[in-house]
Amino acid sequence: MKKYKLDVMYDGTNYSGWQMQQHSQSIQQLIQDAVRVLVREEVNVVGSGRTDAGVHAKGQVAHFRCSHAQDTQHLFKALNGMLPKDIRIFAVEEVDIGFHAQKSAWAKEYQYHLCLGPIASPFERQYVWHVPYKIDQELLKEACKLFVGKHDFRSFANAAHTGAAAKNSVRTITSIDVVPRENGLTLVFQANGFLYKMVRNIVGMVMNVASGKKELSDIQRILAAKDRRLAPMSAPPQGLFLMKVFY
Amino acid sequence: MKKYKLDVMYDGTNYSGWQMQQHSQSIQQLIQDAVRVLVREEVNVVGSGRTDAGVHAKGQVAHFRCSHAQDTQHLFKALNGMLPKDIRIFAVEEVDIGFHAQKSAWAKEYQYHLCLGPIASPFERQYVWHVPYKIDQELLKEACKLFVGKHDFRSFANAAHTGAAAKNSVRTITSIDVVPRENGLTLVFQANGFLYKMVRNIVGMVMNVASGKKELSDIQRILAAKDRRLAPMSAPPQGLFLMKVFY
């Protein structure tokens, strides 16, 4: 038995998300179908975690097992030849049979891109959240700091379809950096793991604080309440990128 | 009579190009329809020049005349509200009645983006020409230099629909800079004017030289022949951006 790791980038605009679903086109399904054809056996392509419809990845990682050795250079070329151009495999390598794309990960980085100002560039419209109203950037940074550390993030996690997240909703965010970008800001999140919709829910909250709709003290209150209904709406998917999975 | 200047950006992917055409959606038509509604009279929106289907602009300029004064701040907001998100008006200003978006221009800048390497980023696939084969970058620079200066570019101009280009095909390219970019190169063209498809035809030629299919000496020969049939195929439209019009 052999195991292979795939490093994957995708523009999520045209997909229902990473995870296979009935009646809609997922990135996982497209990759699995291509791998199955190339290795000539049934395979399960397992990702480091799901990304939702419209969410992008520059560093998604997946693995699959198969019964015989593969030419990784051939797989690299053939997979990129078969897949649509908004999904690219940028590395293929053989890994130890014990490697698991999800379970071996000890941390992840997500980035969320905000476009601030009256208009959003036509070239970025599918890769940013365009916020035309005024925000207080110092308040935004203060709000982000309140999420850093070990917390029970139940108030900022949507119910996952699998229900797995319900078991343990404690995660440790090691940093949230607020970095300037052209016409906006990027929020860089690193954590030992993220619950379903956690980044988008946190971004929704900090933007509510930065625009004066919520107070900084609401963050501690809502975290403590462990009740999703108290937190504001999620930020839209198109600003979110899975950047890196740490193994 | 008043005259207004519009600074326009667009992602050309979903359009038949700048210029109005029957049976297909042009950027000029969409802007003109929006302006007509807002100023409540018939208008002609005149651009600095056409861009083809799939070609982008970060600095297209257009003008229109109308019989009464407009609130430019209102026009800015209302036009961006009415237009699709892949077309943005980034400035509206009143100009002297003598200003003409095409005739007043004394120079233009275009950029052409090349992605070199085995795969193109999903986020750039509609904004670069992906060239996976090896090229000689020194030869590319030498080839570009041969186009700089005052030349009759008839061999590198497609017949324009208007026939206007046929009258005089002499243009002066003041510079072609070859600038590194992530995973590739950008060719920056400045000239006092460009003939129809001239940039894409020149890029097609210099890439033929850089990949060994043509010789440097072919450039002088083809320029001198003034015969479009001798030059190789155009580079694809999606790598091309109209960056700036100089007035």
Q: Tens digit of pLDDT per residue, chain A (247 long)?
A: 999 999 999 999 999 999 988 778 999 999 999 999 999 999 999 999 999 999 999 999 999 999 999 999 999 999 999 999 999 999 999 999 999 999 999 999 999 999 999 999 999 999 999 999 999 999 999 999 999 999 999 999 987 644 554 578 999 999 999 999 999 999 999 999 999 899 999 999 999 999 999 999 999 999 999 988 888 899 999 999 999 999 9
Distance from CA of B80 to the nearest CA of A (A): 8
Alpha-helix residue ranges (DSSP H) falling in B83-212: 137-147, 198-210
- Closest by Cβ to A122, choosing from B9, B119, B121: B9
How distant, in Å, are the alpha carbons of B25, B81, B171 from that of B186?
Answer: 29, 33, 22
The closest of A85, A73, A89, A71 to A32, measured between CA atoms, is A89
Q: Within an 8 Å CB–CB cutoff, is residue A10 touching chain B?
A: yes
Rounded Cα distance, A128 and A213, in Å: 21
Does pLDDT of B80 surpass 60?
Answer: yes
Contacts of B71 (CB under 8 A, 6+ apart): none
The closest of A50, A20, A63, A47 to A160, measured between CA atoms, is A50
Does pLDDT of B233 surpass 50?
Answer: yes
Q: Within an 8 Å CB–CB cutoff, is residue A81 touching chain B?
A: no
A118 vs B contacts (CB less than 8 Å) = 76-77, 80
Q: Within an 8 Å CB–CB cutoff, is residue A11 touching chain B?
A: yes
The closest of B200, B206, B209, B210 to B234, measured between CA atoms, is B200
How many distinct helices (H) and strands (E) make up chain A? 5, 10
Q: Within an 8 Å CB–CB cutoff, is residue A119 touching chain B?
A: yes
Alpha-helix residue ranges (DSSP H) falling in A5-130: 27-39, 72-82
B121 vs A contacts (CB less than 8 Å) = 9, 88
The closest of B1, B149, B80, B238 to A125, measured between CA atoms, is B80
Asked if A88's CB is within 8 angstroms of B121's CB, the reply is yes
The full set of domains in chain B, from first to last, is 2-95 (3.30.70.580), 107-246 (3.30.70.660)
Predicted pLDDT at B170: 94
Q: In terms of CA atoms, which chain B residue is nearest residue A88?
A: B122
Asked if B11's CB is within 8 angstroms of A85's CB, the reply is no
* Catalytic annotation, residues of A: 52
Determine the Cα angle at B132 with ends B130 and B138, to 5°.
95
Q: Within an 8 Å CB–CB cutoff, is residue A125 touching chain B?
A: yes
The closest of A209, A231, A75 to A158, measured between CA atoms, is A231
- pLDDT class of B160 with cuts at 50, 70, 90: low
Rounded Cα distance, B59 and B172, in Å: 20
CB contact at 8 A, B135 and B207: yes
pLDDT digits (tens, 9 = 90+) for B15-31: 999 998 877 899 999 99
pLDDT (mean) for B33-62: 96
Asked if B80's CB is within 8 angstroms of A122's CB, the reply is no
pLDDT (mean) for B35-57: 96
Predicted pLDDT at A160: 61
The closest of B75, B49, B245 to B164, measured between CA atoms, is B49
pTM comes to 0.92
The closest of A234, A147, A160 to A191, measured between CA atoms, is A147
pLDDT (mean) for B93-112: 97
Distance from CA of B142 to the nearest CA of A (A): 32
Predicted pLDDT at B162: 47
How distant, in Å, are the alpha carbons of A50, A88, B19, B45, B59 from that of B7?
Answer: 41, 35, 16, 12, 6
The closest of B116, B163, B80, B130 to B236, measured between CA atoms, is B130
- Closest by Cβ to B125, choosing from A85, A118, A122: A85
Distance from CA of B11 to the nearest CA of A (A): 6
CB contact at 8 A, B142 and B160: no
Predicted pLDDT at B63: 98
CB contact at 8 A, B127 and B239: yes
CB contact at 8 A, B8 and A122: no
Asked if B121's CB is within 8 angstroms of A80's CB, the reply is no
- The residue type of A91 is A
- Closest by Cβ to A86, choosing from B76, B90, B125: B125
Please report where in the chains the tokens 């439209």 appear, as a residue.
Answer: B237
pLDDT digits (tens, 9 = 90+) for B167-194: 789 999 999 999 999 999 999 999 999 9
Strand ranges (E), A71-169:
87-95, 107-116, 129-131, 149-152
A89 vs B contacts (CB less than 8 Å) = 119
Rounded Cα distance, A28 and A15, in Å: 10
Distance from CA of A127 to the nearest CA of B (A): 9
Distance from CA of A123 to the nearest CA of B (A): 6
Tokens at A85, concatenated: 């151009």
Tokens at A94, concatenated: 């053989």
